[in-house]
Structure formats: structure tokens, C-alpha cells
Structure 1
């Protein structure tokens, strides 16, 4: 009986240790991504005509269908294409990505992938398109055709 209790306690201790390591790794990754955020107010002056920054709309097709507008000067690239071919975003130029959702799952995934590949000049628009619009900054209609393939 004592042996079984000791083994159970040891197993729980090992599981708690693994959980702690996983938590620490996730926290570290979140902090690393947080360093690559930019607010709408900081982005706005960077989009002036003489600025040397690229802006990419990486929203999922259904999000684009629901809100067929984008930030002026942005280039639309489906997330699936960027993940398959990261060179669509130049590594030697400052670039900002944005999507729709509050948690920014899509743009986070792309930035994480880019960071693993050595892209250091890519940033995320905090709050995405919604934050941009909440500041009253302009948007333009998105009129190009696109596929509703949502697989990432």
C-alpha cells in the first residue's frame, strides 16, 4: 500500500514538473511575440507615402468576406500562402501584419513561423483591423476576388 502511494505521489510530482516547464515555455513565447506588436497610433505615421514599411492583410477568407475592407496600402496575402512560402514577406524590410480577431491567432501564427525562420523585422498590429477602425483611421473597400479556402 505504501509503495502504491509513493508511486502515485512521484507520478503527480513528475506531471506537475512537466506542466511547469510547458507553462514557462508558453510564457516565454508569448513575451517574445509581444515584443513584435505595434499599436494603430504608432503604425499610422509609418504609412506615409515616403515610408519604407510594408503592410499585409493576412485575414482568413471568411473574415475578409464578412468585412470587405482593408487598411489603405495593405497587400492581401492569404495566411495559407504565407505559411507555405514565407518569402512572400521580405526579410530585409519592416513589415506589419494584421488580421481580424481580437486574439490575432492568424497573424501570431505567421509571425511565430517567421521568427523561427529568422525574420526579425515583422510586427503585428495590436487589435488588428478592429483597433485600426476604432481609432477612426481610414479603410478602403477590398474589391479583388478570393477563394474561401480556410485551411491554414
Structure 2
């Protein structure tokens, strides 16, 4: 159940106050005194620093500075473990705070290109998280909250964050261990190494994201029906199995049946439709999302998904057919 509006406003206000206070006093804190205090706690020092790192991530304190401090305090091995744990826990906490306070608001108020961007990010899921963690130009603190506004699964977010922040954590922890003064050249080398890793991630990921962004937002079944009734040049592609196509739910009159598992090797059957509006549907909308990704990556410029698929179509009591799939697939790509 969604939290009451007043509670979200109250918690959001308290969070902003805490962030503002942390940023205001950030330059007034003596790092040497803090390090001496942590070292004075003995065996509790790693746990104390992990807690401070987690809180710092939530309050927008710079993660690179904290990571350097962890290396200086605990060395390259323990420092990396503590830093990576603190960064991951802090990132997860910020993610959950954003999801609790504002994800519903974001879902209701995003539209147009921003909505398409959000859908593209959500469709990529852990891949987008991995990409942004590997690319050093994305601000760590802001990204934690921004991703919480999406529907990316928590477990995927946590695992991708942990794994893909590890290279940077190892590098900056070691830099903190050897000392900034003794490693001014090493910092530049580390940045160049991470940038190279980021470019590899960019080359692998960017085509997928571009393909996602080329997709259009979902269409409702009523709109599909109206466009077909009006004679719109809309190609309806049903990506269910032939058995489902002719089964109890039936199919939309005039729909083309191309099962999603067969779609990669049957794309030539749609070669004449790359510039036509294409509506994809399945039983709900899961398989149609996979098909939309494939079509967008193969040059189809106007791809849509039908929200709720044939389930929603039947619930709306719209016309259906249950003829053989071979008859319905005549004229594919025309």
C-alpha cells in the first residue's frame, strides 16, 4: 500500500534538510580528526566507517573521497571490502528511499520523451545499472535516487551496483592506501583506466538503449480497435504461439501471427513494414516487449506494444477471431 501523501512530504522534507545540513558543514569537518576518531575505536573501526559511508551516500557526500579515506584507514584489502559494502548499502538505501517517497509520483507525472526514456531504462534493467556504474561521468549519489524512481527490480539493482562498482572501488581504495601525495600520477592513470572500461561498456550498451528509445509508448486496446476500424495502416503482430493464436482468447481480426521465438529468423516476412506503425501483442505484454526490442534494433521506426495484450482485448469485449494461423498470416509485411 502506498504511503500517505502527508507522510511522504514530511519524510522528503526531513531528507532535504539532512542533505542540506551535510553539504553545508562538509567543508568544516576536519578529515584528520575524523580518521583519528575512527582509528581510536579499535576493532569497531571498519563497522563505524561502513556506517558513515552508508549515511554519506544517502546525504550526497562524495563517494570518491570516502573511498580514498577507507583505503588510507584500512589498507587495500579490508579497505576495498568496507568501501564496496558501504557504497552498495548506501546506494541501496537511497534507491529504496526514492522508490518509497516518489516512484508513484514519477509514474503519474512523466510523459512524452521522458516517459520513453524511463521505459527504455526499465526495459534494460540491470544492464542500465551496470552501464552507469561503469561510466564515471554519471554522479553516484544522484544516480542512486534517480534509479529508485524506475521499476528496475531491487535485486537486479543491488547485484549490478555491487559488481560494477568493484573496479572503481579497488582502484580508489588502493590510491587512498598509497597516499594522494605519493600518487598524483597514479590518480590520472586510474581515471584513464576506468574511462577505457567505460568506453567498452558504452560501445556494448548504447545500441540497445537507442533501440529502446526508438520504441513508442504502449497503446491501449480501445485505441488499437479505433485505428483498425478507421482503416489506419496499422500492422498488428501477435507474438504468441499458434496454439494460443487460435485458442480460447482468439486473436485480433487481421493480425499476423509471428511467435516471438521464431521472430529473429522470420523478420524478412515483415521487410515491407519497417516504416509502418506496428502494434505488438501477446497474452499480456511481456513477450511483446521482447519482440519490440528486436524490431527496434532491426530498423522498425514506429513500434508499439499493446497494453494488456489479448487478455485486455477480451476484457474490453472487442471483436476476435479463432481461425487457423495459416489463414491469418497471409499478406505478412504487405
Pair 1:40-2:221 in alignment:
yes
Instruction: Determine which structure has the larger strand proportion and give its number.
Output: 1
Gaps (5+ residues) in structure 1?
146-152
8 Å contact kept, 2:214–2:302: no
Residues in 2 aligned to 1:116 and 1:57: alpha-carbon distance in whole angstroms: 19
Instruction: Give me the TM-score of the superposition, normalised by structure 2.
Output: 0.36
Residues in 1 aligned to 2:128 and 2:269: alpha-carbon distance in whole angstroms: 37
After superposing on structure 2, the runs of 4+ consecutive aligned residues of structure 1 that deviate more than 6 Å are: 16-20
Displacement of 1:113 in angstroms is 1.4
Displacement of 1:143 in angstroms is 2.5
What's the counterpart of residue 21 of structure 1?
129
Displacement of 1:108 in angstroms is 0.6
Residues in 2 aligned to 1:116 and 1:13: alpha-carbon distance in whole angstroms: 38
Instruction: Determine which structure has the larger helix proportion and give its number.
Output: 2
Instruction: Give me the TM-score of the superposition, normalised by structure 1.
Output: 0.72
State which of 119, 124, 134 in structure 1 corresponds to 2:315. Answer: 134
8 Å contact kept, 2:215–2:301: no
After TM superposition, the structure 1 stretch with the greater mean CA deviation from structure 2, 62-71 or 39-48, is: 62-71
| Structure with higher RCO (Cα < 8 A, 6+ apart) | 1
Who wins on radius of gyration, i.e. which is larger?
2
Displacement of 1:62 in angstroms is 5.3
Pair 1:85-2:266 in alignment:
yes
What's the counterpart of residue 80 of structure 2?
7
Residues 133/26 of structure 1: CA separation in 2 closer, same or farther (3 Å cut):
closer
8 Å contact kept, 2:242–2:257: no
Pair 1:98-2:206 in alignment:
no
Displacement of 1:115 in angstroms is 1.5
Displacement of 1:133 in angstroms is 1.0
Query: What's the Cα RMSD here?
Result: 3.5
1:75-112 alpha-carbon deviations (Å, 9 max, x no partner)? 212222322233433101111111003xx221110101
After TM superposition, the structure 1 stretch with the greater mean CA deviation from structure 2, 111-120 or 128-137, is: 111-120
Equivalent pairs counted in the alignment come to: 142
8 Å contact kept, 1:68–1:142: no
Residues in 1 aligned to 2:259 and 2:127: alpha-carbon distance in whole angstroms: 35
State which of 300, 305, 317 in structure 2 corresponds to 1:119. Answer: 300
What's the counterpart of residue 72 of structure 1?
253
SS of aligned partner of 1:108: helix
What's the counterpart of residue 149 of structure 1?
none
